Amino acid sequence: MKIAVLPGDGIGPEIVKEAVKVLNALGEKFELEEAPVGGAGYEASGHPLPEATLALAKSADAILFGAVGDWKYDKLERALRPEQAILGLRKHLELFANFRPAICYPQLTGASSLKPEIVSGLDILIVRELNGDIYFGQPRGTREAPDGNFKGAREGFDTMRYAEPEVRRIAHVAFQAAQKRQKKLTSVDKANVLETSQFWKDIMIDVSKEYPEVELSHMYVDNAAMQLVKAPKAFDVVVTGNMFGDILSDEAAMLTGSIGMLPSASLDKNNKGLYEPSHGSAPDIAGKGIANPLATILSAAMMLRYSLGRPEQADRIESAVKKVLEQGYRTADIITPDCKQVGTVEMGDAVIAAL
Ligand code: NAD
């Protein structure tokens, strides 16, 4: 089992180190190979996704990714900015299905900004399409407006588009995920305004015929944003396009108290995947030894479950994380009174002790 380890920037190396420590404590034979990515890739070879890093990612069975980005690279041209590495990996490896679970652990309900009764026991899975939509659609750019009220003025434009096979494949992934859970799937769109969304909705309905045991419902994205804070426990699996999923998955993340707890997986059609915490590189706390490594450790658990065929090891890690929370260990981002505050390394050690 070959794992490409791409720590990246900011807190990336600190949290990935803890996840690697946990993987090594499982007693399995992993071949772990590390390479620079993001700002670290740019420093090493002038590009955020160096060729050797991409080659390693392609040859591996799974990729464990930290985070990329730092304010010091904001002045670089867009193609050289650290964040391009993650877009490049998604594109080159055809990682089209993004799984973002939002789970509110009972011990952490106090850390959520919502009332405990609204979030306690929350367990949502957001399935976001990652390869298409307005983030990649062509044409895009700036130009002189060819028509409309502002004809002749400078304008910026992007293109929202989805091809039928793209929608079908994410629909199947989402229905299959719902089959393994509460069998409720909510497809989020903006079909009252957007042609692309109506097309998306029609295909969801068509694919639903193959999954009669899954209850499919539809919700406009503006309503979904409201329902997520009003009654989040009403959701089981949510499937949506790239842009809506980007926004809603961050909203769902905050319901749980801390983005430092949330793992994610981005999978291709063969379940090869890139696993990373849902948060970014947190340059504001990098190097201080206080970052929460649990999202990355839980991402490693998802990797064992989805790409490496070791669900029992995934269960072990997830149980160990629950145990350290029960024992009262907390990093600064999830601290509540009466708990024991620990740093990044101590939290990793606590998970290994619990294993
Ligand atoms: P961020 O997620 O890095 O940080 C937001 C806030 O959450 C910060 O206050 C940070 O300290 C805190 N935080 C994040 N992770 C934490 C953890 N594990 N433990 C404790 N606290 C944590 O988002 P941002 O500040 O908007 O972005 C910072 C950089 O990260 C930017 O360059 C951005 O482009 C990049 N980014 C990268 C990814 C990625 O690599 N996939 C995703 C999002 C943002």
Angle at 130 between CA 192 and CA 265, to 5 degrees: 125
Quick check: 162 and 196 in contact, CB under 8 A? yes
Tell me the C-alpha distance between 352 and 355, whole Å.
5
Quick check: 48 and 80 in contact, CB under 8 A? yes
Per the residue annotation, which of 202, 206, 222, 315 is the catalytic one? 222
- 257 CA from centroid of ligand 1 (Å): 15
Q: Is 222 a catalytic residue?
A: yes
Tell me the C-alpha distance between 34 and 6, whole Å.
6
Residue 232: per-residue pLDDT: 96
Q: Is 162 a catalytic residue?
A: no
**Low-confidence residues of the chain, pLDDT below 70?**
none
Per the residue annotation, which of 246, 322, 323, 349 is the catalytic one? 246
Residue 153: per-residue pLDDT: 97
Indicate if ligand 1 lies below 6 Å from the C-beta of 264: no
Q: How confident is the model over 238-249, as pLDDT tens digits?
A: 999 999 999 999
Which residue puts its alpha carbon closest to atom 43 of ligand 1? Answer: 280
Q: Give strand ranges (E) for 211-291.
A: 215-220, 237-240, 263-267, 273-277
Which residue puts its alpha carbon closest to atom 31 of ligand 1? Answer: 69
Report the residue among 281, 333, 345, 347 best suited for mutation to probe ligand 1: largest number of ligand atoms under 8 A from its CB.
281
Q: Is 220 a catalytic residue?
A: no
Per the residue annotation, which of 250, 322, 323, 349 is the catalytic one? 250
Residue 254: per-residue pLDDT: 85
Q: Give strand ranges (E) for the chain.
A: 2-8, 31-34, 62-67, 97-103, 123-129, 141-144, 154-157, 184-189, 215-220, 237-240, 263-267, 273-277, 329-330, 340-341
- Determine if residue 81 is labeled as part of a ligand binding site: no
Which residues have CB under 8 Å from 78's CB, separation 6+? 84
- Cα distances from 345 to residues 19, 21, 212, 287, 342, in angstroms, run 10, 10, 47, 12, 8
- Determine if residue 250 is labeled as part of a ligand binding site: yes
Q: Is 202 a catalytic residue?
A: no
- Determine if residue 290 is labeled as part of a ligand binding site: yes
**Crossing angle for the helix pair 12-24 and 344-354, nearest 10 degrees?**
20
CA pseudo-torsion sign 88, 305, 227, 282 = negative
pTM, full prediction: 0.89
Residue 277: per-residue pLDDT: 95
Residue 162: per-residue pLDDT: 97
Residue 348: per-residue pLDDT: 98
